[in-house]
Each structure stands twice: as C-alpha cells, then as structure tokens.
Structure 1
C-alpha cells in the first residue's frame, strides 16, 4: 500500500510532563485507524501533530506530495455571521454542488434539518458541530483526521457517519484517523487501533473488539499492576464475544484464543440476585405510567404512554432530539406532571438522575475531592450475596480512575471526565433505588467507560439510560424502548430495529404521512394497518411474558429451600416462557420485514 504520511521520532513535552517520547508511525492508503487512550494521554495532540496543526518539540511529520488532508478539530472555527449553506458549500453555485451525489448525501445526513439560510450565531453548539463536520465531508480529501466526530450526533447520525466513512473511498485507498470514545463506531469503521499510553503509541490490528482481545493477552502476559484494568477488559471481551442482541448476527471476530481467555469469566450480571435485591429494596411497585400524555400548549410531546417499570429493569430509551426523552424521564422522576393520564409511584421509590449539567457539584467546587467524599457515607456495597463487597468512598474513587494525589485536587480543577465520575459517585453514595442516566458517557475515555459499566453491573436497582453511545446503551441495559411519533414503543430488535423504523419513517413523504390510509409497497392500506396492529399486540404480549419471567426469577431466588418438584416446575415454566418469547419475536421481525418491503 502506498504511503500517505508518516511521523519520525516525535517528542512532545508540556511544562509538567512528557506526552510523547520518540514516537514513529505512518498512515498508508486504505488505513482506517481508531485512536484510543485515557483522557489527557495525548490523543488529540497526536492528531494535531500529524495534521500539521501543532509542531512537535522534536522529530518531524512528512506528507507525500499531492496528498490532501482534512481535519475536524475540537476547536470550533466557524464564523458567527456566516449562514449554514455558505459554511457548508461556500460560494459554489447551487447547480454544481447539487449535482454532486456525495455533497447531497452529506447535507441530507448532517444538516438536512437546519434552515439553509440561518446564521450560525442562531445555532446550538451541537448544530454548529454538525455544520463543521458537513463542511469537511463535502470536500475531497485523501486523508481525514477526525477528533471526536460523534459528539453531538444522535444514534442515527452516528450510524449515518459510519456508513458514509465506510463508503467514502474505494477499498485500499484514502486514509482515516479518528479519535473517539464511541466503541461501536470504532468497531464499525476501523480496521486498526492505536492505543496512546505512557508516552508511546501502540498499534493493534482490527477494531475495538479485536483490540480488547489483544490487550487482554498483552496484560495477561505482562502480569503487572494492570490487574484491575485487565479484569474489566476481560469482562468486556466476554460481553463482546457472547454478543448483545444487535451483535449476534454479525460477530466482529471468531478467534479460539478469545474463548480460552473468557472461559472462566461469568456472565456480566447476576440478574436473578440483582432483581431479588431490587425487589427487597423497592417492593413490586416502582413507577407506572398509565395512559399518560404531555402537551405544551398546542404541541403534544407524548401521548398514550402505558409503561409499567419493574424492579431491577435496565432499560435504554432512544429517540431523536426533541422526541420527548427528557419529558419521559421527568415523568418518572416526578419533575414533569402529565397533562393526561396518571403516574403511580411505589412508596419506597427513591429516584436519582445523573444529568448533563453536573448540578450536584456546584456546591462543592472550592472543596478538595477528599473533603467532599468525607461528608458522605463511610461505605458503599457492590455485588450481591457472597460476592458483596464494602468499599470506602476513597476505594470507590480509585476504582473509578482517581489517583491518590487527585484526592487533594479542588473539584473546580478536575477535568470534565473526572467531574463526571465524581458526579456519579455522589449519586451512588446517596443510595437511590431508581437511577436515571442522561447522556452519561460525555467526557469519558474508553477505559473509564468500562470501569463505570463494571460498577453498574453490580448495582441493584432499576436503571433507565438515555445515550447516543450505542455500545454503552447495549452494554448496561437489557431492553430498549423508543419514542416514535410521541408514543413509547418496545424494541425487541434493539438499536438495529430502531434505526430500521426511523429509516422507514423518514422515507414516508409529508403527504403520505398525513394520510392514514397511505400504503407501503407490497401492502394495501388495510393490510399495512393490520400488520402494524399485530406488531403492537405482539409487543404487549412479549412485555407481559418478560414481566412474568421477572416474577419467576424472584420466586426462584426466594424458593431455594422448597421441594425439588416445586423448583422443577418453576424452571420448566421459565423455559416455556423463554421459548414463547423467542417465537413471538420471530413473528414480530417477520411482520417488520413485510412492512419494510
């Protein structure tokens, strides 16, 4: 493969530390490289040096003659007085850019919902980020450097960007280097991984899943102080190999060594024990939304929502920006009142929300971390049964990536990721039994995301998660729901099913969507309505059966001293329910295929 650019003996030093020491590497035609590493280890600095935006203290970067390089930096450089259209395509005449299929695709995928003539000063930070990304992708580049390109993109936007980058160049041409904490995106797009750590850059073959496999093997052979990191990585590898529902149809790698490495790794969560403990803390009633609707003036945000949240459930919520996710969570937490229907809460319910604003830290900004945690509980219990373990707040902080010297750092001087971790710690130490996480992955690196996922695996309570990080959502939740057209819909097919439904929704013209009798290709209007009705009925039956399984699991936990015949009957009934759910999900997917055809 032809060489595009390279770096030789790069050295970068800040006043307090050395970031890189004699790093040499290169990017060749066809490379699709993901860059991972802990916050502050130099990922963005590496990207900027290779792109020519930052000079190293020693060493050099060389670019092959004629090679064009495009960069998406974290620093935003758009002109407030510019318009969306001019920022994206410049002064190119409309008939020229409109005739370019790639430009049309980029505009539709990233900024199709923005007014073309709107000034950039009127846009939110997330919208401006999408404009900057669209401006870059409409250009013709041999190499693209992308620093956190998935920030401010929703699940659909991330899926679109992954597909665009996979098709942007022909096989064996072009070069991509991307810094991101989105592990699904890394696995979907990248064929190689660079890990930045300890002043060097270590290359690995394959995307994120293959990188985890190789790192586990490296750590096992080294047998050093990476023991904790290794355990979390092995646990994550076990989940990757065993597969979330959305991954089982296309596993990323099948290597015998992986099976050997995870042979002694148990399931990531002891669901029966966690649910039993959740029932003991919550009782059978958590929060029920009964035929609930929420309207703001003339605009109906949610309607006809029927959702009975069970103890110990782990649910991910999907929906486009503005669909009503925050409103739905507000109904659960009690900060939003319904305008129709009613919300019923269990007497012992204690809800806590990890918000994007980090309000919990406002009163602690001037205090050192150790002073903040000294005011809280003296211990925190993780795990259940014989595996239960009491940790001090300091030990919990260490588990979440804080070093001993950082305990003396004032909260205001912590990085964004450190503040995010401390925010979660304060909430967990308050011991809620219903935990709502609103975009919890912001500012966290992949290792720290793994540590938080590990911590949540042993948390006994009801968990609701809103996140555009698909990997995190699939990793910590057992089921997903979506808000579509103001209604809450169960997704037996997970995130893949949500994306399919959204594509089908977007393909309907405004006229067709207004007409209830509009028909899908191959189905008459009546047949389509019947199929949709059957799908809804199947979703309700699946939900009822899943709830019955949850009840059985609790009974099994509390009936271990019962007779053999009684236990055998419970297990037989559970197997029957599981088999029935599988059959119903197959029917549901067949109906989905008919509706999509």
Structure 2
C-alpha cells in the first residue's frame, strides 16, 4: 500500500505541558484509523499536525506529492453570509453536481431537511455541522480527517456516515483518520486504532472493541512483569524474615498477583437488586403519561401535534433509552416527564416521592458557579454520595469521573467542554435524585470518561431515561429502547437500535408508496411550496434515485460485457447501442431529478 502522509519525531507543547513528545506515525492507502484518548491528551492536536494546520515544535510532517487532504474541524469554519447551497457546492451549476449519484446520496444523508437558500448564519449548530460535513464529503479527497464528525448527528445520520465511509473507496484506496467518542462508530468503520496518551501514540489493530481487549492484554502483561519483580522482592523479604529483626518486628506484607484479565472486573449491574432499591426509594408509582398530546402553539387546525395521545409508564428502576429523528420530540418528552412543561391534553401522574433531575444539552447551567472550583461546587451540594451499596465522599466521586487532585481545584470557568459536561452530571448525582433523565450525555466526553460514567450509572438505584445517538451507551446503560419516528407516537423497540433503523426505512418507503402519505419526518418544511407539492417531490426524488441506481448497475454490466466482446464487432455494436439508450434514460432521469429538487428549494 502506497504511503500518503506521515509525521516524524513530532513534538509540541502548550505552555509548560508537553502534549506530544517524539511521535512518529504514518498513513497509507487503505488505512481506516480511529484516534482515542482522554480529553486534553492531544487527539485533535495530532490530527491538526498531520493536516498541516498546526506547526510542531519539533519533527516534521510530510505528504506525498499531489495528495489531497480534506479536514473537518470541531469549530465553525463556514462563511455565515453564504447560502447553504453556495457553502456546499460553491458556484457550480446544478447539473454539474446533481448528476453525480454519490453527491446526491451525501445531500440526502446530511442536508435533506436544510433550506438550500437559507444563510448559514441562520442555521442551528447541528445544521451548520452537517453542512460543513457535506461540503467536505462531496470533494474527491485522497485522505479525510474528521474531528468529532458524529456530533449533532442522530442515530440515523451516524449510521449513514458509517455506510458512506465504508463504501467511499475500494479497500486498498483512500484513507481516513477520525477522532470521535462514538464507540459504535469506531467499531463500525475503523480497522486500526491509535491511542494518544502521555505524549505518545500507541497503535492497536482493529476497532474500539479490539482496542479495549488489546489494551487490557497490554495491562495484564505489564502486571505479569511487575509480578515477577515482586516475586524477587518477596524472596528477599523471606530471607530477611529469618534474621533477628524479623523475629521481633514481624513485618507483614501482601503482594497481589495482577495476571488475570477478567477476574478483577466487577459483576454487571444486578438489575433485581437495583429494582428493589429503587422501589424502596420511589414506591410503586414513578411517572405515568396517560393519553398525552402536545401541540405546537399556533400550529393551526391542520398542524400535527409533536406528541399525539401517547401513554408511557415508568417503573421503579426502569432503564429506558429514547431514539428518534431530529425534531421528533425526544427532549420535549424529557421535559414532560420532568414537569418542566405541561401537555396540551392528557394526564401526567407523578409519584409522591419522585425527585427528578435532568441533564440538559445546555452547559450554561454552570454559569452560576463559574467562579467556584470543581470540588467546591460538589461539596456545596453534598459531602457524601451513595453509589449502589458504596458510600463515596465528594472528592472520591469527583475523582471517579476523571477529575484528578489537580483538576479538582480548577475554576469552573477554566474547564473544557468535556469537563463541564462531567461536572454537570456530577452536580445532578450529588443531589441524589431517584429519576434521572440524560439528554445527549455523551457530548464532548472521551471514551475513558464515558466508561467511568457508565460505571457510576451501573450502581445508581433509580429510574433512568436516556436520549442519545450513541448506540454503545444506550445498549450499555439501558435495558430497552423506545422510538419517536416523527409521527407523534412512541414505539417499543425489542430489537433495539437496529429495529429503529429498519422501522425508519419502512416508514419512508411506505410514505413514498401511498398517495397522500407524508414522510415521517418532523423537520419543518421551508416556506414557499405547499406541503403536498413537497411531499410529491420527495416521493419523485426517491423513485428517480432508485431508477438511477438500477441504471448504474446495468451500465456497469454493459461495460463488462463490452470488455469481454472486444473482438466480436457485431456484438460490440449491439452493446454500444444499448449503452447509448441507457445513457439517454439516465439523462432524462437526471433532468427529472433536478426539476423535482427545485420544488424542495
């Protein structure tokens, strides 16, 4: 495999802290690499160095001549004055990009719900992120570097991006680097993992799961080496104990062998025991929604409610995950459960002992304690905290979620985004709620911190409701999942996230097949055309894209037949005529696609 780019003896420091020290890495064609590590250890720094967006203090970065690198930054880099269309495709004419099925797939997967003519500055943070990602992916880069690409993508969007990256190049072509906390995504798309820690980069073969196993094996081998050293010490102590000092002092010692990979891992959470504890704290009644409907204010008589006649009963100790399309009402459902908003109709019944707490997506909730230090924030709330059967001090709990002794005395205003997110969760937990609701809790957290959060939640005896696009987290901390498909209903998912994705595909296919049936997508339509026109246009676009896909397969087959019939001029003439006819059909369909897409603009 040909070499694409690399870094040799890279070193960089910020202030007095050395982030990378003598790192040498390379990227070859066919590489699919995920970068993991704790927040602040240098994942994004390494990527920026390799992308030549940051100069190292020492060492050098080299690219193969002519290599084309695309880079997705975490920050907002789009020109706010541009329209969405101009930001993505520039000044290209529609026919230049709309005839490319790959570009059409990217548009449909990322920005189908975004107004093509809206100014970038008017978009939400999530929409800006998807526009930036679409702009990057439509270009034929040799190397793609993605810094937290799954931020602001829902479960469906993450699944689409995974499919795109897996099929973008042939297995031995192209390469990408990705920094993300989404462990399912890492497992799905990466064939190798780089762990950034303590100034070095350590490579592992495989995705996230393989990396975790390999790291555990590495730690086990280190423990074996330490065990051998300890045995020598033990022999020396045994010899000393036979001497006179030992007979009087009798020193006691214990050396634990650390050579078992699995034996020291705690048992999985005891669901029955936790349920009993939760019932003792909550009683039998938690929160029930009975025939609840929530409609938009001023939505009009024909407007569909966001939530339509739903019934949901939360049991003591129940752990449920919520997935759904953007705008389907996941966060709104949390606000109904917590009592922040009231339904338009129906009844919300809460148990008398319910103490809810909500982790929202707004880190500004910490603004009122910006001048305090981390440990002071927690101690002000509570001195001790019970996790399952264990009682922890505030300091122990803070340390368990990644705040070292030094970090505990950092002012809140100086924390990074991931650290503020952790502190948000800690602040909620020390209040000892018995119903905990988490809205996208994985935002800005690294994989090690996520594992620590999951460990805390494993022993938390209460009712848990989690909204997240992180499939790994949902399957790890919840026992079952519910779906909001954008039609106002809530559906149970015995088959988990895979069933949700299948339901979405079925719903969209049914909407295309049935006259007058709108796609189940809660995104508001841009003003201009009537909703019925847009509905028909979406159906037409879906039909045309299916036809174009079939024609592409036929075209590939014809080319193969022509190659096999190179010496049969009669056969070659027939095949060429068929190919021209096929091209004529493609041209007609692409023109129809453009006409239908104009209705949605």
TM-score with structure 1 length normalisation?
Answer: 0.78
Q: Tell me, what secondary structure is at the counterpart of 1:261?
A: coil
Aligned match of 1:460: 461
Tell me which residue corresponds to 2:215: 215
> Residue 505 of structure 1 is aligned with which of 492, 504, 507?
507
For residues 496-546 of structure 1, the C-alpha deviation after alignment (integer angstroms, 9 at most, x for no partner) is 111111122223446726359xxxxxxxxxxxxxxxxxxxxxxxxxxxxxx
Instruction: Find the structure with the greater CA-based Rg.
Output: 2
Q: Distance in 2 between matches of 1:488 and 1:513?
A: 24
1:346 to 305, 326, 351: 351
Change in CA separation of 1:75 and 1:341 when aligned onto 2, cut-off 3 Å = closer
Q: Where does residue 445 of structure 2 map in the other structure?
A: 444
Distance change in 2, residues 1:513/1:496 (3 Å): farther
* Distance across 1 between alignment mates of 2:96 and 2:171: 27
Alignment-derived partner of residue 544 in structure 2? none
Match of 1:132 in 2: 132
Deviation at 1:371, TM superposition (A): 2.3
**3-state SS of the aligned residue for 1:353?**
strand
Counterpart contact for 2:442–2:470, Cα < 8 Å: yes
Q: Deviations over 1:209-253 (max 9, x none)?
A: 0000000111222239x9xxxxxxxxxxxxxxxxxxxxxxxxxxx
C-alpha offsets along residues 373-432 of structure 1, whole Å, 9 cap, x if unaligned? 22222211112xxxx221100011111111112222211111111111111111111111
Is 1:318 matched up with 2:323?
A: yes
Q: Which residue of 2 aligns with 1:393?
A: 394
Alignment of 1:234-253 (within 5 A): none
Aligned to 1:187: 187
**Partner Cα separation in structure 2 for residue 119 and residue 264 of structure 1:** 55
Moved more, 475-484 or 87-96: 87-96
Give structure 1 stretches of 5+ with no counterpart.
Answer: 227-259, 517-597
- Residue 591 (structure 1) aligns with: none
1:313 and 1:513 map into 2 onto residues whose CA distance is 40
Question: Do the aligned partners of residues 120 and 495 (structure 1) sit closer, same or farther apart at CA in structure 2, a change above 3 Å counting?
Answer: same
Q: Which runs of 5+ in 2 are unaligned?
A: 227-259, 519-601
Q: Deviations over 1:338-382 (max 9, x none)?
A: 122111111111111011113542321111223222222221111
1:110-121 to 2 correspondence within 5 Å?
Answer: 110-121=110-121
Task: Name the counterpart of 2:177.
Answer: 177
Q: Distance in 2 between matches of 1:290 and 1:75?
A: 43
1:406 maps onto 2:368 in alignment: no
1:85 positional shift: 1.1
Kept in 1, the 8 Å contact 2:98–2:104? The answer is: yes
Matches of 1:468 and 1:43, distance apart in 2: 22
1:266 Cα shift?
5.4
Matched, 1:56 2:56: yes
Match of 2:494 among 492, 495, 509: 492
SS at match of 1:60: strand
Does the 8 A contact of 2:375 with 2:398 survive in 1? no
Compared CA separation, residues 114 and 336, structure 1 to 2 (3 A): same
Distance 1:409 1:53 in 2: 29
User: In 2, Cα distance between the equivalents of 1:462 and 1:368?
Assistant: 30
TM-aligned CA deviation for residue 263 of structure 1: 5.9
3-state SS of paired residue (1:375):
helix
Give me the CA root mean square deviation: 1.7
Equivalent residues, number: 478
Once structures 1 and 2 are overlaid, which stretch shifts more, 330-339 or 278-287?
Answer: 330-339
* Secondary structure at the counterpart of residue 343 of structure 1: strand
Specify the alignment match of 2:380 in structure 1.
375
Give me the whole-angstrom Cα distance separating, in 1, the residues matched to 2:198 and 2:125: 33
What's the offset of the Cα at 1:187? Answer: 0.3
Per-residue CA deviation, residues 59-82 of structure 1 (Å, 9 max, x unaligned), is 111111222111111232211111
Q: Secondary structure at the match of 1:20?
A: strand
